[in-house]
Amino acid sequence: MMGDIIHLLPDSIANQIAAGEVVQRPASVVKELLENSIDAGSQSITLLVKEAGKTLVQVIDDGSGMSETDARMSFERHATSKIRKSEDLFKIQTMGFRGEALASIAAVAQVELKTKRSQDELGCKICIEASKLKSQETVACSIGTSLSVKNLFFNVPARRNFLKSNPVEMRHILDEFHRVALAHPQIEFSLFHNDLEVYHLMPGKLSQRIIAIFGKNYQKQMASCEEATPLMKIKGYIGRPENSKKSKGQQFFFVNKRYIRHAYLHHAVLTAFEGLIPADSFPFYVLFLEIDPVHIDINIHPTKTEVKFDDERSIYAIVQAAVRKSLSVHNLSPALDFEVDVNIASNTLHFKTAIEENPLYQGTGSSGGTKSYMPNYTPKSQNPQDWESFYENLKKNTPEENPAFEPEHSPELLTFPSKANQISGKGLFEEDTQIRRNFQIHNQFIISQVQSGILLIHQKAAQERILFDKYLQNLQKKTGLSQRLLFPVEIELNPSDFQLILEIEIEIRNLGFIFDVLPKNSILLKGVPTEAIHENEHELFEGFLEQFKNYQSQLSMDKHTLLARSLSKRATQRLRKALNNLEINALIDQLFASTNPNFAPDGHPCFVKLSLDELSAFFVN
Ligand code: ADP
Ligand code: MG
């Protein structure tokens, strides 16, 4: 009829729309192709990637292969060999089942498929570009399938431009590769990037696979975790509490060998670790849950990293119990000494919000304690109410406890007009600056006599503030000075950290690190920033990287600020240093010449001020 305007979309357009969901970036292609190879029963799978997958993603397997007809069919939408009827949806054993991937990929790339089954003499080769069949021919090839995807999004410039830098895209590819390789340790995997071999993983046990992926040092860092209940089985490894990291990324759940994200189950693991690790850190785990597919629904998201369980609470309880058991069976809990482990002790103080860098800071809402900055004063009074009200007064000095707190305007805070600071804080300190009355105690604190009382300065926080300013300036002006190492150290990184280094290479050099990039994911560290205070350069560098990843995942700040914060934090981590008088005075001068003497970059106060009245109040009422 005239005037009817609705018509069916041609397949090529429908596929391109579907591709928007399935294919977001080269890593999505990697995931789909690897999973197809696994579903095809392959023993050995090779992944070739060029320019972080932007120009080529190719997967070669030795699996079942396809007949000529199936090969052609595989690119049709909703074409799958994996389910036939709707009931099958509830007992899925394969990775794929939607029959969408190849059709979607072929809609937005140039695809070449070569495949042969064991019973066939010859294989077949099919070329498809933007859903259009370009050629189909019979060829001689080996058993299995090779699928190459060239120039992803060549026909969708908007999406192509949307792709991130090569290092970023490569990190996503590595993430997918890690997940698939962990889920199938019995399969041999290789990964080549721009013709360089990144991984060659031999078939073996899960523990061997973990070590092959994450590095030899994981050998001593993990404990097995197993549990069997009628509802489900758990198998896998958890990391020792002391090896927990401050960045996410090494937490893996697999349900029936399918990688999933699950905030609720992640929480179950975290609560099992509660009290053993600092609040802001993440334990390593690779946990496989095996459960009858009738209890799960994997159909809720096209990229299938989410799963719904019909009985989430029981699953939660089982996961938590399994992890707890593993921690106690392996005796991991008592091995931890909070007093001795500097890493952990230093983390128990922790502001959720960075005050000055965060313009949204309103002085409310954070809950961590800063009480350790308060005098440790617990008088054995007969009348507890008295001292509590006294203590309340003290508490108001800390921003967290006082909801009205505003860093810039609080009368409790000392503010310094920037020019005046340069002249060593005149006015604040005793008139007679020749004889400054500053003392260091326990290599950790400095007591400084000021006109109206004393300042108790936290040496580490002060140093962190000073270094942060310095590093930020170095980054902006590209002026970081280096101290050459007598003996350069080779640092072996895992491939994803290596990619990260390449991504921020210029900035790291501007900070003052000197290094050569070596093949095979290593660097040769030859120099470190002059001001960095650390005995072990290797540790400094890795800690800095770790810190950066952690901040990057949690804070939205510009790269320079994140880098300066990461390095200043790590460079001062174990700071307990005896200072002579000159150094003490220099530290105080630099602190009060800094951009914000009141706080370290992460919001910890750098000092508390006690007035003479407050001091007297300790003794007389
Ligand atoms: P799905 O995996 O959801 O079934 P795909 O579009 O990924 O959908 O694949 C379509 C079909 O092509 C699969 O069902 C399978 O029969 C076939 N296929 C894809 N890749 C391979 C492979 N590497 N080896 C053998 N068969 C394959
Ligand atoms: Mg598939």
Instruction: Produce one character per residue of 601-615: b if its CB has 16 or more CB atoms within 10 Å, e if not.
Output: bbbbbbbbbbeeebe
Q: Does 21 have pLDDT greater than 50?
A: yes
Position 302 scores a pLDDT of 58
Nearest ligand 1 atom, CA 83: 4
Supply the mean pLDDT for the chain.
80
**What is the pTM assigned to this prediction?**
0.65
- List alpha helices for 199-358, DSSP H: 206-214, 263-272, 312-329, 342-345
Predicted local distance difference test score (pLDDT) of residue 352: 28
Q: What is the mean pLDDT of residues 99-107?
A: 91
Q: In this structure, which ligand is nearest to the CA of 115? A: 1
Average pLDDT estimate for 72-96? 77
Return the higher-pLDDT residue of 431 and 355: 431
Query: Atom of ligand 1 at shortest distance to CA of 80?
Result: 14
Specify the long-range contacts of residues 194-203, CB closer than 8 Å, at least 24 apart. Answer: 194/49, 194/50, 194/51, 196/519, 198/174, 198/495, 198/521, 199/495, 203/43
Ligand nearest to the CA of 103: 1
| Ligand with smallest separation from the Cα of 111 | 1
Return the pLDDT at 355.
Answer: 30
CA–centroid distance, residue 239 to ligand 2 (Å): 32
Give the pLDDT of residue 362.
Answer: 31
Rg of the chain in Å (alpha carbons): 30
Pocket of ligand 1 (CB under 6 A): 32, 36-37, 40, 61, 63-66, 74, 79-82, 96-103, 145
Distance from residue 147's CA to the centre of ligand 2 (Å): 12
Which pLDDT belongs to residue 359? 33
How close is the Cα of 74 to the center of ligand 1, in Å? 6
Mean pLDDT of 144-170: 92
Q: What is the pLDDT of residue 231?
A: 92
* Residue bearing the CA closest to ligand 1, atom 19: 36
CA of residue 19 to ligand 1 center, whole Å? 16
Q: Best substitution site from 72, 80, 100, 299 to test ligand 1's pocket, by max atoms within 8 Å of Cβ?
A: 80
pLDDT in tens, 410-450: 334 444 433 333 334 444 554 444 456 888 999 899 999 88
Among residues 195, 111, 96, 112, the alpha carbon closest in space to that of 153 is found at: 111
Query: pLDDT-derived band of residue 566, with 50, 70 and 90 as boundaries?
Result: very high
Write down the pLDDT at residue 94. 75
* Closest approach atom of ligand 1 to CA 144: 24
Q: At what angle do helices 537-554 and 559-571 cross, to 10 degrees?
A: 140
The mean per-residue pLDDT over the stretch 14-39 comes to 88
Closest ligand to C-alpha of residue 78 is: 1
- Per residue in 507-564, pLDDT (tens digit) is 999 999 999 999 888 999 999 998 776 778 888 999 899 889 888 877 777 889 999 9
**Which of the listed ranges 48-57, 154-163, 359-368, 570-579 does the model predict with the highest average pLDDT?**
48-57
Distance from the Cα of residue 575 to its chain's centroid: 25
How far is residue 502's CA from residue 413's CA, in Å, rounded to a whole number? 42
Residues listed for the chain: 621
The pLDDT assigned to 283 comes to 94
Residue nearest (by alpha carbon) to ligand 1 atom 7: 101
User: What number of CA atoms fall less than 13 Å from residue 7's CA on the CB side?
Assistant: 9
**What pLDDT is stored for residue 2 in this prediction?**
67
CA of 79 to the centre of ligand 2 (A): 10
Report how far residue 82's alpha carbon sits from residue 3's, in angstroms, rounded to the nearest whole number.
42
* Residue pair 53/171 in contact by the 8 Å Cβ criterion: no
What's the confidence (pLDDT) of residue 519? 84
pLDDT at 462 over 50: yes
Residue 80 CA to ligand 1 center (angstroms) comes to 6
The pLDDT assigned to 247 comes to 78
Mean pLDDT of 150-175: 91
Q: Which residues contact 386 (CB under 8 A, 6 or more apart)?
A: none
Query: Ligand 1: which atom is nearest the Cα of residue 64?
Result: 25
Note whether 345 and 338 are within 8 A (CB).
Answer: yes
Pocket test for ligand 1, best of 39, 92, 148 (most atoms within 8 A of CB): 39
CA 121 to ligand 2 centroid distance, Å = 26
Measured from the CA of 32, which atom of ligand 1 is nearest? 7
Query: From start to end of 159-244, where are the E strands?
Result: 188-193, 196-201, 222-228, 232-239
State residue 202's pLDDT score. 96
Average pLDDT over residues 372-388: 32
Q: Mean of the pLDDT values across residues 232-256?
A: 90
Per residue in 293-348, pLDDT tens? 888 876 656 566 778 888 899 999 999 999 998 988 877 654 333 322 223 223 32
- C-alpha dihedral, 172 to 177 to 179 to 182, nearest 10°: -150
Range with top average pLDDT, 40-44, 268-272, 446-450? 40-44
CA of 236 to the centre of ligand 1 (A): 29
| DSSP states of 16-76 | HHHHHHH-SSHHHHHHHHHHHHHHTT-SEEEEEEEGGGTSEEEEEE-S----HHHHHHTTS
* Ligand positioned closest to the Cα atom of 59: 1
